[in-house]
Structure 1
Amino acid sequence: MRTFSRWLLAAAMVFAGISHLFWARKEFQAQVPDFAVERTGLDKDAVVVASGVVEVMFGAALVALPGSRRRVGALLAFFFAAIFPGNVEQFTRGRDGFGLDTDAKRLVRLFFQPLLVCWAWWCTRDGR
């Protein structure tokens, strides 16, 4: 079950990363917090592109580096936690994106990020 879950997460990461690079770039910009732009000097599009590349790399690493599975899972869990402020800012500033066009929908979205953290952690552990 963990192996299937890890492969599913890998596919989801590659898909999400590619969508950052192509068809969903504008939608993802709604999730880029203003402080990320201010502190990095990058515009929102550059942040989206960079995060898309990172997501593709994580997806590939989940499959291609079985000996580093635990480390990749921990880094991916950290990545999911690190991008959470973008989801919070999308909620607090009322930014629409991906059909999250009400405060209620944006609030519900916040509860999914911890599930992603847990998924990345769980599917890269041995189960012992």
Structure 2
Amino acid sequence: MRTPHSPLARLKQPLLYLMGPIYVGAGLLHFVYPHAYAQIIPPFLPQPLALVYLSGVAEVALGVGVLLPRTRRIAAWGLVALLLAIFPANIYMATSDVVIQGGPDWLGDPSDVVRWGRLPFQVVFVLWAWWYTRPLPDDAE
């Protein structure tokens, strides 16, 4: 007999198919607008362009990996680690006056509300990824 699932638990599978493509799409944007993303890498980090490409590869790979039952848990842990690793870029974007050039208009000069609003959303994204470090009921162990 199956135990009843909470409404949130019933959303776990459908939200997975939203999360994976979001990371794949975000990762691909690192290759479309690499110089724009490099501008929000904090100055104390070396090789900003290389870090943009590396994080783009990681987002694409982990976004695909989280969709596959066999790699889901490790990819979810990878997303947690990636989100923590890119947090300094979000802090730098919030605390600096950088105007991002060479990217799409929506990326250029976000308001202070958007710059600071991104920070608490990182917690939401970390928790969302962490949720998939636990197996889905239909996952093979």
TM over 0.5: yes
Q: How many residues align?
A: 121
Aligned to 2:94: 91
Aligned residue among 21, 44, 62 for 2:31 = 21
Q: Aligned with 2:67: secondary structure?
A: helix
Change (3 A) 1:100 1:5: farther
Gap runs ≥5 in structure 2: 1-10, 101-106
Gap runs ≥5 in structure 1: none
Aligned to 1:125: 134
**Aligned 8 A contact 1:25 1:45 in 2:** yes
Q: Aligned with 1:111: secondary structure?
A: helix
CA distance in 1 between partners of 2:20 and 2:38 (Å): 23
Aligned to 1:30: 39
Is 1:12 the counterpart of 2:22? The answer is yes
CA distance in 2 between partners of 1:8 and 1:103 (Å): 27
More helix by share: 1
Higher relative contact order (CA closer than 8 Å, sequence separation 6+): 1
| Structure number, greater radius of gyration | 2
Is 1:62 the counterpart of 2:66? The answer is yes
Q: Aligned with 1:83: secondary structure?
A: helix
Instruction: Tell me how large the CA RMSD over aligned residues is.
Output: 2.0
Aligned to 1:104: 113
CA distance in 1 between partners of 2:126 and 2:30 (Å): 20
